[in-house]
Amino acid sequence: MEESESQSISLNQCESNEDKENQPGQDQSDPNQPPPLQSSTNLEPLGAKDPTKCPFSLREHIDCKDTEDKWLNAEIIAISGKKVHVHYSGFSDRWNEWIQWDSPRLLKQWRPGRLFQINNRIDVIDTQNKWLEAFVIEIKEEGKVIRVHYKGFTAKWEEDLPIDSDRIAQIGYHSKAYGSGRKLRPGNLATENEENTQDSEELTKQRNARKEKEDQFRDDLDAVGLRIISIGADGNCMFRALSHQVYGTEDHFKYIRRRTMDYCQKEKLYFKDFVPDEYNSVDEYIEHHRMNGVWGDNLELQILSELYSC
């Protein structure tokens, strides 16, 4: 939310002298650029070969970020000009929308032989031999390793997997998730249609109830001159939100994350007792939470409140 002028925090109030040499304007990394991917010759390149041609086809299943910043399965139901009409699987037609086909909200779904992209939805079999829906949150070692986050689970369960691991499958092939892998299942069509009908009714009911609450909340905010600001949902949202409030843009989230974990390192004797049990040491926690896309925790909130007096 945006604050009134009297509530805003100035840069001078937030920065200590020792931090002035590391102000956001001096950050050499580009926060808007994803990490580079190194493709091998046997992998299919991403996107269309012709930039003037739509990279998607009619009835193709894609990964699509909805208006609530959630990555869902969607189907291309129409193409017109430079826009595609998408239908979110499991939801009623009222949620269909037109989106520019070059929008970052649209991703081609991963399949064997295709490069992974950040936010791709995939099936992954966990250490308990259960196939679950997961998201690609990081691409490492020049594209040879991906880090996955299991939907509905905490960061504790995130894993690094080689891209050729047999624990990875096309989304929907093994798990209950919607995706292009569903149609590849043997004898799947009748079961899928039945599940779609049942899931659609329940999911639509839940989403409608949530939307009513959100609309009421927006009205309440509007009555006092406030509004909701959408922040990038890439695992950096805590740092992006603070960057927006302090600097007027979310682009300095990397600087804020780095400054936060530097402070944690400096005061680690104090913070070591607040590190979650899944970490072996405060140093392991700091190293992990320095990584791009790792969700902020209560410890980071405490540090941010001290650094920015908020």
- State the average pLDDT for the chain: 80
Q: Tell me: the pLDDT tens digits for 116-148?
A: 999 999 999 998 899 999 999 999 998 899 999
SS (H, E, C) 2-54: CCCHHHCCCHHHHCCHHHHHHCHHHCCCCCCCCCCCCCCCCCECCCCCCCCCC
Note whether 246 and 11 are within 8 A (CB): yes
- pLDDT higher than threshold 50 for residue 265: yes
Nearest to 247 by CA among 14, 21, 33, 26: 14
Q: What is the pLDDT of residue 39?
A: 38
Q: Of 110, 92, 37, give the one whose Cα is nearest residue 207.
A: 92
The answer to whether the beta carbons of residues 87 and 77 sit under 8 Å apart is yes
| Spatial contact of 59 and 178, defined as CB atoms under 8 Å apart | no
pLDDT of residue 51: 63
Q: How far apart are CA 206 and CA 84, in angstroms?
A: 26
pLDDT 10s digits, 227-237: 888 887 777 88
What phi and psi values does residue 299 have, to the nearest 5 degrees?
Answer: -65, -45
- The strands making up 131-140's β-sheet, listed across from edge to edge, are 159-162, 145-150, 131-140, 121-125, 168-170
DSSP assignment, residue 233? -
pLDDT of residue 112: 87
Does the pLDDT at position 4 exceed 70? no
Tokens 């992006």 belong to 240
Closest alpha carbon to 104 in 133, 149, 71, 153:
71
pLDDT for res 91: 86
To the nearest 10°, report the CA torsion of 292, 298, 299, 304: 80
13-34 residue pLDDT tens: 333 333 433 443 344 444 444 3
CATH topology of domain 5-30+230-308: Cathepsin B; Chain A (3.90.70)
Q: Report pTM.
A: 0.48
Round to whole Å and give the CA distance between 75 and 192: 15
| 144, amino acid identity | K
CA distance 297 to 310: 16
Sequence-ordered list of residues with C-beta below 8 angstroms from that of 167, at least 6 positions apart, any chain = 124, 125, 161
Q: In sequence order, what DSSP letters do the residues of 258-285 get, joined into one string?
A: HHHHHHHHHTHHHHGGGS-TTSSSHHHH
pLDDT digits (tens, 9 = 90+) for 162-201: 999 999 999 999 998 999 888 877 655 444 455 555 556 6
Q: Above 80 in pLDDT, residue 305?
A: yes
- The residue among 126, 72, 77 whose CA lies nearest residue 98 is 77
Name residues whose C-beta falls within 8 Å of residue 151's C-beta, 6 or more positions apart in sequence.
Answer: 132, 133, 134, 135, 177
Provide the token pair at 50.
């012709």
pLDDT, tens digit, for every residue of 29-88? Answer: 444 443 333 333 344 545 445 667 889 999 999 999 998 889 999 999 999 888 999 999
With bands split at pLDDT 50, 70 and 90, how would you rate the model's confidence at 255?
very high
